[in-house]
């Protein structure tokens, strides 16, 4: 059995070098100040994201540039996978499936808009991926399908076949993809947690901690969506959230969904586990959505805290690999946020608050 040193010394040295090249906050401050999207893209020319300027210059299409970003993110996982020990490879495959599931959901949305809602999808079909990510999912067949039965048949041999079969009638009767998409997301996290369970004890503890914080963030994002767009009753919300959160279990989630004062719900674990973040609890919020956004901000800070904790700790674990992915995801998210903000003319102060 390979020891921690032989499993992680090479890949961790490689990733620490890559972490040092992640775009600094100072550059994002300059991007926020840029007077236009063209000026922002010009600032990225001498970075690994220089190709975005070329794509946008040639097409004038920001969505195509974002698609390039997505491809580069997928390639990032594939590139790292070839260097990790075989014990970690299955976990990276599970993580890579997040992109496949999101792409599948987008393909099904195109089918749904075209076939069920009778809407034009001519523009949408150019902004999804048609190449294999993990499984052989025939995206071209899905977007052009005549029925969910055809989609399920096209997904035969993938983990998604049974989910589509189970929820297709619900989608048609409710006129909404909500339950099917929630089921696909739940599958992703179940598969991810199952892959983590196969790691050795030290790696499993670290991976569960980071993934648990990610699940907390996902659940808070869902709760914001549920509250703003669906108005779901509490029982439906609790049935939809993903189990496995690190700080926020179903009881806390229920309290957050209904509480007028979220500070009282959060202060226990924040002050106990993350005392440096206690000051955030004093922020004033005017409405329920603002309160939930405050929680998301606190959870994002908790994720940063966990990553810094790993990077400063024992180096020969899966933690460096997972932390690198978190840092790269945040970098890419900030690039997307800034470029979209510039494209839509959002003012500098608002952009700075978003990144």
Q: Is 275 exposed, middle or buried (0-12, 13-18, 19+ CB in 10 A)?
A: exposed
pLDDT confidence tier of residue 152, bands split at 50, 70 and 90: very high
Distance CA 73, CA 332 (A): 8
Average pLDDT over residues 15-22: 93
Q: Residues in the chain, how many?
A: 355
Which one, of 176, 192, 189, 190, lies nearest residue 232 by Cα?
Answer: 176
Could you read off the pLDDT of 275-305 as tens digits, one per residue? 877 777 776 565 666 766 777 788 888 888 8
Average pLDDT over residues 323-344: 94
Could you read off the pLDDT of 337-350 as tens digits, one per residue? 999 999 999 999 88
Which one, of 281, 277, 293, lies nearest residue 223 by Cα?
Answer: 293
Model pLDDT, residue 345? 92
pLDDT confidence tier of residue 261, bands split at 50, 70 and 90: low
């Amino acid at each position: 059995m390979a020891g921690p040193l032989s499993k992680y010394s090479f890949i961790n040295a490689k990733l620490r070098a890559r972490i040092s090249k992640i775009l600094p906050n100072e550059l994002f401050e300059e991007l926020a100040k840029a007077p236009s999207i063209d000026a922002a893209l010009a600032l990225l020319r001498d970075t690994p994201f220089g190709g975005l300027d070329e794509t946008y210059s040639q097409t004038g299409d920001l969505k195509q540039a974002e698609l390039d970003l997505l491809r580069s993110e997928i390639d990032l996982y594939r590139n790292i996978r070839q260097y990790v020990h075989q014990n970690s490879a299955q976990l990276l495959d599970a993580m890579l499936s997040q992109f496949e599931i999101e792409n599948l959901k987008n393909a099904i949305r195109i089918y749904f808009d075209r076939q069920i809602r009778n809407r034009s999808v001519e523009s949408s079909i150019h902004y999804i991926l048609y190449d294999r990510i993990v499984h052989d999912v025939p995206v071209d067949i899905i977007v052009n399908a005549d029925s969910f039965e055809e989609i399920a048949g096209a997904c035969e041999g993938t983990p998604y076949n049974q989910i589509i079969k189970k929820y297709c009638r619900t989608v048609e009767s409710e006129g909404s993809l909500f339950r099917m998409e929630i089921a696909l997301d739940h599958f992703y996290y179940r598969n991810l947690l199952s892959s983590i369970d196969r790691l050795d004890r030290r790696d499993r503890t670290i991976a569960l901690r980071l993934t648990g914080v990610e699940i907390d963030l996902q659940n808070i994002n869902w709760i914001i969506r549920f509250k703003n767009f669906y108005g779901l009753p509490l029982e439906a919300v609790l049935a939809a959230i993903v189990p496995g959160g690190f700080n926020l279990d179903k009881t806390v989630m229920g309290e957050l969904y209904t509480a007028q004062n979220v500070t009282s719900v959060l202060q226990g674990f924040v002050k106990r586990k993350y005392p440096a973040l206690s000051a955030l609890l004093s922020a004033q919020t005017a409405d329920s959505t603002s309160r939930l956004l405050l929680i998301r901000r606190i959870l994002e800070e908790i994720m940063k805290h966990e990553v810094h904790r790993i990077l400063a700790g024992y180096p020969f674990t899966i933690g460096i690999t997972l932390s690198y992915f978190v840092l790269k995801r945040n970098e890419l998210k900030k690039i997307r946020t800034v470029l979209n903000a510039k494209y839509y003319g959002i003012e500098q102060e608002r952009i700075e608050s978003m990144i």
